[in-house]
Structure 1
Amino acid sequence: MEIHESAEDYLETILVLTEKIGNVRSVDISNEMGFKKSSVSVAMKNLRSTGHIVVDENGYIKLTPTGKEVADMIYERHKFFSSWLISLGVNKETALEDACRIEHVISKESFSAMKEFLNSKNN
C-alpha cells in the first residue's frame, strides 16, 4: 500500500515523540508539528483506518507494526541524509529541511546503495 508523504511525517513524529516522552497524544503531535488539532485529528483517523496506529482508551497513540516499519524507515533516512548533508558543509537548518524532502522520494534500492557506498568509504 502506498502511503502519502504527510502520513509518513505523522508516523515519524509519533515515533520520535514516543522515544522522547513515552505516551503520545494528538495534542503532542499538534505541538511538535505546528498543526491545528483538528488537522491532526483527521490525520489520526486516517492512520487508524489504514492500520498504521491504534488509539487506546486514554487517547494515547501507538504505532502498529506496520506503522512502526514505515516510521523507522523514514526516520532512518532522515537521520542519514541530515547528518550526511551537514558533514558536507550544508548548514543544519537547510540539511534538516532537505533531508525531510529527500527521505520521502528516494527508492529503497537507491537508499540502500548510497548507505552501502558511504559505509564502504568510511571503513
Structure 2
Amino acid sequence: METKSFNLSRKAEDYLEAILNVSLEKGYAKTRDIAKELGVSPPSVVEMFIKLDRLKMIEYRKYEGVILKPSGREIAEVIKYRHDTLMEFLKLISVPDKIANDDACMMEHELHPKTIEQIHLFVNFLKERGSKNHTLQDFDEYCTVKRSAENSG
C-alpha cells in the first residue's frame, strides 16, 4: 500500500496520520485532540492546519476542527499502514509497546515501500503459521537465555 510522493515533511505526515487516528476514534479531529496526540502546543497545530489546508490536504474550519480531503486521507492511510505494520513486527519480536510505537514513528518515514511490504508479508506469514511452528516461542526462549547469560556474566 503506497502512494505517489507528495514531498511532505515527516512532521506534516505525522499530522495527517494523527488527524486520521483521532477522526477514526472520535469521528472528528479538533486542534486540542491533535495537540494531545502529538504532544505539541495548540498554536503549533493551528499553524500546521493552515499549511495543510493551503496544500488542499485538509479542510480547516477555525474553532470546528479539520476534515481530511481525499489527497490528505490517502497519505494518512499510507502512513498509518506503515506505522501499524512496523508496530506489529516490533511487538512480534517482543519490543515493549512504548518503544515499538516510538521506533515505528521514526521508521515509517525512512524505510523503502518494498521493505514495508516484505515486513507486512512476514508478519502475516508468522501469524498464519503460528500454530504450526514454534519460531516465535523459540525466539522468546533464545532471548531469555541470552539475557540471562549477559546478566550473569
Task: Report the TM-score, using the length of structure 2 for normalisation.
Answer: 0.73
CA distance in 2, matches of 1:53, 1:17: 14
Structure-2 residue corresponding to 1:82: 87
Aligned ranges 1:15-30 → 2 under 5 Å = 15-30=20-35
Distance 1:121 1:23, change over 3 A: closer
Using the aligned pairs only, state the percent identity. 28
How many residues were matched structurally?
123
Structure 1 residues 113 and 52, CA gap change in structure 2 (3 angstroms): same
Distance 2:80 2:60 in 1: 21
Return the letter of the residue paired with 1:80: T
Specify the SS of the correspondent of 1:93: helix
- How far the C-alpha of 1:122 sits from its partner, in A, is 4.3
1:51 aligns with 2:56: yes
User: How far apart are residue 54 of structure 1 and its match?
Assistant: 0.6
Aligned to 2:98: 93
User: CA-atom RMSD, angstroms?
Assistant: 1.7
In the alignment, structure 2 segments of 5+ residues that lack a partner are: 1-5, 129-153
- Residue aligning to 2:114: 109
Of 38, 41, 45, which aligns to 2:43?
A: 38
The unaligned stretches of length 5 or more in structure 1 are none
The CA deviation at 1:57 is 6.8
Alignment partners' CA distance in 2, 1:2 and 1:88: 32
Q: TM-score, normalised by structure 1?
A: 0.89
Q: What is the CA distance between 1:59 and its match in structure 2?
A: 2.1
Distance 1:90 1:121, change over 3 A: closer
Q: How far is the alpha carbon of 1:15 from its aligned partner? A: 0.4
